[in-house]
Amino acid sequence: MKIIVFSTHNFEKEYLLKQANGHNVTFIKEQLNPETAQLAKGHDVVCIFTNDKVSKEVLDQLSDFGIKLITLRCAGFNNVDLEYAKSKKIPVTRVPEYSPQAIAEHTMAMILTLNRKTHKAYNRVRENNFNLDGLVGFDLYKKTIGVIGTGKIGKAFCKIALGFGCRVLAFDLTKDTELEKLGVEYVGFDEILKESKIISLHIPLNKSSYHLINDANIAKMQDGVVLINTSRGGLVDTKALIKNLKEKKILAAGLDVYEEEENLFFDDHSQDVLQDDDLARLMTFPNVLITSHQAFLTHEALSNIAQTTFESINSIESQNFKYLI
């Protein structure tokens, strides 16, 4: 099979090539969009990532090129017009999970960094400044952590939080009986907001969850709340976040995702003038920690992504797609 991989990053190439097994793989850095779709001509499979846009216009072109499969090397698929893909009879697969543990661990790492201010301490010590002023945190032990969404990632994070001796509240449409046995308390959404010192988001982005964390819902939170988002950027209204950081309603925020990350994250813009005023404002806050969608980035996750991606590609002949969306 001839496979074209859009939005290729150097960190993933070796993992994909290990699974290629004789397939002809072309790696390109360009994102898939109506202008770049022509690059798929002559290939059998299009492999995409989170910021590639598979619109009707793109699907029309891919259909004309005889593309047999679109495979996403990620879990989210809100960037694909699935209904139109079905009408064009182009199967779309994804990687439903690659390492829930990786994202859950990154979530806790953000909490610990923000709370104990290790990022600030690291920079101070490198400048021979051993002063401890401004580095006071709080014990996580017995604090209440609210987890919104207890799918595989949220569940993994709940277990980590329990290991720190936290009281864990959870909100999900489906209760996880294993978590309940471990001591996780399922409560209503508003109670999560009201009772939690730390709130962590682990839900998909859709019409009902878009800007779930908005000014009205932040107002329901306790003063000095810590907000963590390692899920999808659109869950948080950035302007509301900035407002409540300025007013000190929110003590700290950890963001591995950002609602306008599409043309920023995964690339080096160190020589550019940042045009996103909201992101620029966020980065001025000393109590905001931003990582560029790296929560998934472990050896285990990259191996799982590559393996699952090629499982789908190897299923083209049988049309028995295990990870069909």
Catalytic residue among 43, 106, 232, 259: 232
Q: Identify whether 261 is a catalytic site residue.
A: yes
Annotated active-site residue 232? The verdict is yes
Whether 241 and 259 have beta carbons less than 8 Å apart is answered as: no
Nearest to 158 by CA among 115, 101, 212: 101
Q: How far apart are the first and last CA of the chain?
A: 21
SS3 242: helix
104 by Cβ neighbours in 10 Å (0-12 / 13-18 / 19+) ranks as: buried
C-alpha distances in Å from residue 115, one per residue of 228, 241, 251, 300: 12, 18, 9, 27
**Distance from chain centroid for Cα 157:** 14
SS3 content of the chain, % helix, strand, coil (to 5): 35, 15, 45
d(CA 76, CA 85) in angstroms, rounded, equals: 16
Catalytic residue among 43, 94, 202, 293: 293
DSSP state, 38?
G
Place of tokens 């909100």: 171
Dihedral, 161, 162, 165, 169 alpha carbons, nearest 10 = 80
Q: Is 317 exposed, middle or buried (0-12, 13-18, 19+ CB in 10 A)?
A: exposed
Active-site position among 57, 261, 300, 311: 261
Nearest to residue 32, comparing CAs of 16, 10, 54, 15?
54
The sign of the torsion formed by the CA atoms of 54, 92, 200, 222 equals: positive
Query: Which residues does the annotation mark as catalytic?
Result: 232, 261, 293
